[in-house]
């Protein structure tokens, strides 16, 4: 049945008055005839609302300070937050791929990541559930939606981009420095005696996120992301699993 409302009018497919939910009724539900509703829309809307509030807060801070250096940093932070909102918009308007959220526990994986499956036309955003990690992985989703990221071109630039988004939205990034057990034989005993939390660090400046910064990081228990970049042209080496001693 057709009516006088047009769902997602920016999509030219809706010029077809006989289409329902972008001609994909198995994926979407259209309760009012005005807009399609995806399964994960509520999650995206929650993150968008959070980011909009953060943007308002930053604009207020800019009005309350005369420090030019602080204002310039706040502008950078605001730019990243607005780009994170754009990540959500672009994912929602990507009419070829569906963007879903996934749980690390349900998937049986340790490390958050965003996976694009070209066979099923699904991009799954696996997160640990924390706000910062959700924003981080949504940036990768936005990179896919904008055509900046494909499964075969992932590199340090995409990670820098995602960590900047994370710090801009949440104010800080807690991370663990890479520990080289082969060179530092005492590291095993340090971890045993003090625990991994003793080695955690916090970064609050988005401008500190560089290739060298990422190269120093661990990402989860037993996983080293000392990935890349021995040569300028060497942009990507897959994450490697270390011996799990914990």
Angstrom distances, CA of residue 133 to CA of 93, 138, 214: 22, 8, 15
- CA distance linking residue 14 with residue 242, whole number of Å: 51
Question: Over the chain, what is the mean pLDDT?
Answer: 78
pLDDT 10s digits, 208-238: 999 888 877 765 444 444 443 333 333 333 3
Residue 73 has pLDDT above 60, yes or no: yes
Contact 131, 43 (CB under 8 A): no
Q: Is the pLDDT reported for residue 58 higher than 80?
A: yes
CA distances from 145 to 8, 45, 93, 140 (A): 17, 17, 8, 9
**Within a 10 A sphere around the Cβ of 129, how many other Cβ atoms?**
11
* Contact in structure between 164 and 206 (CB atoms under 8 Å): yes
**Alpha carbon distance 137, 47 (integer Å):** 12
Q: Per-residue pLDDT averaged across 115-124, rounded?
A: 86
Q: What is the CA radius of gyration of the chain?
A: 21
What's the pLDDT at 104? 83
Residue 79's nearest CA partner among 137, 173, 175, 161 is 161
Rounded Cα–Cα distance for residues 154 and 130 (Å): 23
Higher pLDDT, 234 or 7: 7
Q: Look up residue 173 and give its DSSP letter.
A: E
N-terminal to C-terminal alpha carbon distance within the chain? 60
The string over 159-174, giving b where at least 16 C-beta atoms fall within 10 Å of a residue's C-beta and e elsewhere, is bbbbbbbbbbbbeebe
Q: For residue 67, give every residue at least 6 positions away whose Cβ sits within 8 Å of its Cβ, in sequence order, or none.
A: none
Of 155, 167, 165, residue with least CA distance to 215: 155
In the predicted structure, residue 51 carries a pLDDT above the cut 50: yes
The pTM for the full model equals: 0.74
């Amino acid at each position: 049945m057709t009516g006088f409302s047009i769902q997602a009018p920016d999509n030219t497919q809706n010029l077809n008055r006989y289409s329902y939910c972008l001609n994909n009724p198995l994926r979407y539900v259209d309760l009012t005839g005005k807009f399609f509703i995806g399964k994960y829309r509520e999650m995206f809307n929650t993150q968008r609302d959070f980011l909009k509030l953060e943007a308002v807060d930053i604009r207020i801070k800019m009005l309350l300070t005369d420090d030019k250096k602080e204002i310039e940093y706040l502008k950078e932070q605001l730019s990243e937050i607005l780009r994170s909102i754009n990540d959500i918009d672009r994912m929602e308007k990507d009419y070829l791929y569906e963007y879903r959220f996934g749980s690390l526990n349900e998937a049986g994986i340790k490390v958050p990541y965003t996976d694009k499956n070209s066979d099923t036309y699904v991009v799954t955003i696996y997160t640990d559930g924390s706000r910062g990690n959700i924003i981080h992985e949504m940036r990768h989703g936005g990179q896919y939606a904008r055509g900046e990221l494909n499964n075969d071109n992932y590199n340090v630039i995409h990670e820098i981009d995602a960590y900047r988004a994370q710090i801009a939205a949440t104010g800080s990034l807690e991370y663990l420095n890479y520990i080289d057990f082969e060179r530092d034989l005492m590291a095993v005993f340090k971890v045993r005696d003090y625990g991994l939390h003793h080695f955690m660090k916090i970064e609050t400046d988005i401008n500190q996120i560089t290739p060298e910064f990422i190269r120093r990081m661990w990402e989860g228990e037993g996983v080293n992301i000392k990935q890349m970049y021995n040569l300028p042209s060497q942009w990507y080496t897959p994450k490697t699993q270390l011996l799990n001693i914990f």
